[in-house]
Amino acid sequence: MNRNRQTGFSIVELMIAALISLLLGGALLSLYGQNKNSFNQNSSIARMQDDARFAMNELIRDIGMAGFFADLLVPDLVTPDNSLSLATDCGPVGQAEWMYRTVDPVSGDAISITTVDNATGVTANASHSCIDPAEIRPGTDIVAIKRVTGRTIAAPQPGRVYLRTNGTVGMLYQDPASSPPAVAVPVPFREWEFVPSIYYIQNFTNAPGDGIPALCRKLLQAGAIPTTVTECIAPGVEDLQVEYGLDTSGDGAPNVFLADPTLADLQQVVSAKIYLLARTTEADFRYLNDKTYTLSNTPPYQPMDNFYRRIFTSTLTIRNLKNLSRLDL
């Protein structure tokens, strides 16, 4: 009988097996880590793109409808009612209840769309008193739009602001209107809700200092006394630039695009180019963003940080201002 026959593994074999297991385990962990990092990166970029697309769609819709006052083609036909008041306004100093204005009180020009180019805290607050100088992201544009919704209201709700018009005259009022109203609108008339908005880039999303910029807007909130509130719609959007296409020849098509138009220039606006710079909200410390980004008339920007970025652009027609410009021919 052979008593020296091996009945198990030797120490060397066990060590070799353990080493192979460690190598395989390490490879699997490395593969898992790479896949997880890749998944997180793709998810972060996908969220950035979704937020930027949503932001662009909102801007396109609002800017595209700037100056839409239902069947009134001339903004100075809109008369404010005595029922209107505001708890918090958002216009330039000295222009009370600017949110309800459709024309500039000095020049008589339409203020269906106004802009602040490459705003600072000072210029932002001077043009829109409800924007705190500390909340604006310097060097970004501000766009203010006056318009009504695209469909009529069957039953006005108390506290909301509406435009009542029969196609000839119009009254802007808070339901219920004053009695007697500021202007008689003979029947039959229809009513649209008034929805002004002011778009800007805020240097935080949830709380000051969180370091996540966002596209936000100031809106009119209904109430016993309406007020201006802030709604942030797209975290990670860190720059907004708009160029305005002017029809200087009277044919309805843009002849020149300006990044910093005057109010007089804005009377000729027929289109706009929107630029958004979006970044991921989470840093990837394995990545260094040393790219250079240039939007409209802003200086070249090289972030040198750990966030992925992408520029989004769109060109749109502003149909209502185009109609007004033709009326002036």
Q: What is the pLDDT of residue 235?
A: 97
For residue 208, is the peptide bond before it cis, meaning its omega torsion is within 30 degrees of 0? no
**Within a domain: 16:** no
Q: What is the pLDDT of residue 325?
A: 43
pLDDT digits (tens, 9 = 90+) for 85-138: 999 999 998 889 999 999 998 899 999 999 999 999 999 999 999 999 999 999
pLDDT at residue 148 above 90?
Answer: yes
**Within a domain: 247:** yes
**Within a domain: 234:** yes
* Signed CA dihedral, 26, 28, 32, 35: sign only: positive
pLDDT digits (tens, 9 = 90+) for 169-212: 999 999 999 999 999 999 999 999 999 999 999 999 999 999 99
- For the chain, the domain total comes to 1
* Cα three-residue angle 224-196-191, rounded to 5 degrees: 70
Give me the residues paired with residue 258 across strands.
Answer: 244
- pLDDT grade for 14, boundaries at 50, 70 and 90: confident
pLDDT at residue 213 above 90?
Answer: yes
Helix (H) or strand (E) holding 122: helix 121-127
**Within a domain: 213:** yes
pLDDT at residue 233 above 50?
Answer: yes
pLDDT digits (tens, 9 = 90+) for 43-54: 999 999 999 999
Token duo for residue 194: 């008034």
pLDDT at residue 3 above 70?
Answer: no
Nearest Cα to 270, choosing from 303, 288, 287, 245? 245
- pLDDT grade for 329, boundaries at 50, 70 and 90: very low
- pLDDT grade for 326, boundaries at 50, 70 and 90: very low
Q: What is the pLDDT of residue 8?
A: 66
What is the spatial distance between Cα 315 and Cα 293, in angstroms, rounded to a whole number? 19
Q: What is the pLDDT of residue 73?
A: 81
- pLDDT grade for 76, boundaries at 50, 70 and 90: confident
Per cent of the chain over pLDDT 70 is 92
**Within a domain: 32:** no
**Within a domain: 1:** no
pTM reported for the whole predicted model: 0.88
**Within a domain: 18:** no
Token duo for residue 281: 């909200």
List the domain range (segments joined by +) for residue 156.
39-327
pLDDT digits (tens, 9 = 90+) for 238-294: 999 999 999 999 888 999 999 999 999 999 999 999 999 999 999 999 999 999 999
Q: What is the pLDDT of residue 262?
A: 97
Q: Give me the mean pLDDT over the 307-319 stretch.
A: 96
**Within a domain: 27:** no
Per cent of the chain over pLDDT 90 is 78
Q: Name the one residue in this structure whose structure tokens are 């998810």.
A: 43
